[in-house]
Structure 1
Amino acid sequence: MRTVLSGLILSALTVPCFAQNVLKSEPLVLAPYEIAYVQAASCPLGKVLKVTGAIRGLHRKKICVMLSANQASLATAIP
């Protein structure tokens, strides 16, 4: 019984880690090659902006991508 209970608790804690957070605004600081998903008006309905950080002197890579419902969760950006 303890193993089943501990397994349920462990799975409840690890499942939210698999979701991608969709931010409401683009972060000011983004590490090189770090990816952030942003709700942007420039992307069509059902798509989000995928922003990839770049090394110093290069521009960030931005592209509209579609995320499935089980991959994305809405979150707020911390300024």
Structure 2
Amino acid sequence: MRILASVLVVSAVALPCSAQTVLKSEPLILAPYEIAFVQDPSCTPGKVLKVTGAIRGLHRRRMCVALSAEQVSLTVATP
């Protein structure tokens, strides 16, 4: 019974964390190798811009990727 209860608690915590947050604008500060998903009109419909932070002196990596509707929640970037 304890195992069943612990599995239910872990799954309740893990499911909300699996959603990706899509920002309305690209963040000014992004840690190296940190990933942010941004709504961008340059990407085709159904895709979002995936921005990966870089170490000092290198440019960020940007690419359009598709995310399923179950994984996406829209928020506003905070400055």
Check whether TM > 0.5.
Answer: yes
How many residues are treated as equivalent by the alignment?
79
Quote the Cα distance in structure 2 between the aligned partners of 1:7 and 1:19. 20
> Partner amino acid for 1:76?
V
Residue 12 of structure 1, CA deviation: 4.1
Task: Say whether 1:27 aligns with 2:62.
Answer: no
TM-score (norm 1): 0.83
Quote the Cα distance in structure 1 between the aligned partners of 2:30 and 2:16. 22
Aligned to 2:47: 47
Aligned to 1:72: 72
Aligned to 2:62: 62
Quote the Cα distance in structure 2 between the aligned partners of 1:75 and 1:13. 20
Secondary structure at 1:16's aligned position in 2? helix
Unaligned 5+ runs, structure 2: none
Secondary structure at 1:70's aligned position in 2? helix
Provide the alpha-carbon RMSD of the alignment. 1.8
Unaligned 5+ runs, structure 1: none
Quote the Cα distance in structure 2 between the aligned partners of 1:65 and 1:49. 6
TM-score (norm 2): 0.83
